[in-house]
Amino acid sequence: MQTYKVKTKDLSIETLRGIAVIMMVAGHVVGASKGTGLQVEDDSGWRYFYNSFEYLRMPLFTVVSGFVYSLRPVEPGRLLEFLKGKSRRILFPLISVGTLHFLVQHIIPGTNAKYEIAEIWKIYLFKYEHFWFLQSIFLIFVFISLIDNYQLISTGKKWFVVFLACVLFRCAMSFLNGNFFSFKGFLNLLPFFVLGCGLERYQDLFKNKMVIFGLLIIFILAVSVHQINLLNGKSFSGLDYTIVSFFVACPGIVLLFHIRKDVPFLSKLGYFAYGIYLFHVFGTAGSRIVLMQMNVTNTGFLFWVGLLAGLGLPIVIEYFIEKNQLLRTAFLGLRKKTNW
């Protein structure tokens, strides 16, 4: 049976997670379209800012998740135990925090979206707000646990074959109809999770100077294509989006891993990344609603307050929730503390 070493936490990885969570919260403060977030115009600088980081936000989050998973991967013969733990960690918050978010969004005036109470069942089975990521990452963990259980990425060559297969699966994303349990998000992020596994397990491959130089060239070219498109007021869709986004995200993230350093503030923020992801909207939307009720309309001020609230409020929420045995399991998916 294959055994794994328990490795100490790499603070430079937590720094990358901190960067990813800041990009994610900042993106949600601005909003993906005119009807969300700060409701900025499509031709504004804020929309340009949002779109410029679109291809890096969730892929970076996912690559880090794959890297961290590979520090303590599923061991052969312990598949069901692993999936039980991931079900608690991911599906419990999907249900509890998702339900709370839905009800608050329905009741509180000033939110950007309203749904009928009768539609609440849909949030557990289909894409809903930012909770789609929980559905997608759960499917990814099911996939990767099966792959690891049968030792299908146990060598660099095997890993590369699986990685390429996942890239091809991703290309099929734009041709699929329906999106049950955010399956498209699963296909979209799967190659990046597998990339994270490779970055941890086969580090020598990504330290090769020629590989790094080649990835730098690809990244520069892909970003240039993306930026030219943005400056012309256009956006990619379908297979074009799939291809360009991959060639921005994949080499860009590998380069970030190559140059990563421990930045104490960011690494500490990275520790709270999951809680921030779950609860950040209560800070971002909540601060926006309160400030706009006070007739504060300056977009820059709303952005910075929203960003700080989106990062800070979830940390406070997690601090109090973690102290309660029931709430820590229901809302964060954590095990109950054992009293010795």
Residue 244: predicted pLDDT: 96
Give the single-character DSSP code of 112: S
Residue 110: predicted pLDDT: 80
Share of the chain above pLDDT 90, in %: 86
Per-residue 3-state assignment (H helix, E strand, C coil) for 127-169: CCHHHHHHHHHHHHHHHHHHHHHCCCCCCHHHHHHHHHHHHHH
CA dihedral defined by 209, 13, 193, 238, rounded to 10 degrees? -80
Question: CA 30 to CA 48: how far, in whole Å?
Answer: 10
pLDDT exceeds cutoff 70 at 340: no
Residue 13: predicted pLDDT: 96
Residue 298: predicted pLDDT: 96
pLDDT exceeds cutoff 50 at 2: no
Average pLDDT over residues 167-173: 94
Do 275 and 248 touch, CB atoms closer than 8 A? no
pLDDT exceeds cutoff 60 at 74: yes
Instruction: Give exposure, 180-217, as e/b (b: 16+ Cβ within 10 Å).
Output: ebbbbbbbbbbbbbbbbbbbbbbeeebeeeeeeeebee
pLDDT exceeds cutoff 90 at 113: no
CA angle at 126 for the pair 121 and 129, rounded to the nearest 5°: 95
Residue 5: predicted pLDDT: 46
Question: CA 223 to CA 192: how far, in whole Å?
Answer: 18
Average pLDDT over residues 243-247: 97
Sign of the alpha-carbon dihedral angle for 65, 66, 71, 77: positive
CA angle at 50 for the pair 47 and 56, rounded to the nearest 5°: 155
Nearby residues of 179 by Cβ (< 8 Å), 6 or more positions away: 126, 127, 185
CA dihedral defined by 151, 152, 153, 156, rounded to 10 degrees? 110
Residue 216: predicted pLDDT: 97
Average pLDDT over residues 141-151: 95
Average pLDDT over residues 32-46: 91
With bands split at pLDDT 50, 70 and 90, how would you rate the model's confidence at 338? low
Nearby residues of 256 by Cβ (< 8 Å), 6 or more positions away: 16, 19, 60
CA dihedral defined by 250, 251, 254, 255, rounded to 10 degrees? -150
pLDDT exceeds cutoff 90 at 141: yes
Do 48 and 30 touch, CB atoms closer than 8 A? no
Question: CA 290 to CA 272: how far, in whole Å?
Answer: 25
Residue 89: predicted pLDDT: 97
Q: pTM score, two decimals?
A: 0.94
Residue 221: predicted pLDDT: 98
Sign of the alpha-carbon dihedral angle for 224, 226, 232, 238: positive
Sign of the alpha-carbon dihedral angle for 91, 93, 97, 99: positive
Give the single-character DSSP code of 251: H
Residue 162: predicted pLDDT: 98
Average pLDDT over residues 71-93: 94
pLDDT in tens, 264-323: 999 999 999 999 999 999 999 999 999 999 999 999 999 999 999 999 999 999 999 999
pLDDT in tens, 209-239: 999 999 999 999 999 999 999 999 888 999 9
Question: CA 213 to CA 211: how far, in whole Å?
Answer: 6
With bands split at pLDDT 50, 70 and 90, how would you rate the model's confidence at 4? very low
Per-residue 3-state assignment (H helix, E strand, C coil) for 50-107: HHHCCCCHHHHHHHHHHHHHHHCCCCCCCHHHHHHHHHHHHHHHHHHHHHHHHHHHHH
Name which of 27-36, 105-114, 162-171, 321-330 the model is least confident about. 105-114
Average pLDDT over residues 129-140: 97
| Three-state DSSP state, 126 | strand
Please provide the average confidence, as pLDDT, over all residues in the chain. 93
CA neighbours within 13 Å on the CB side: how many for 254? Answer: 29
Share of the chain above pLDDT 70, in %: 97
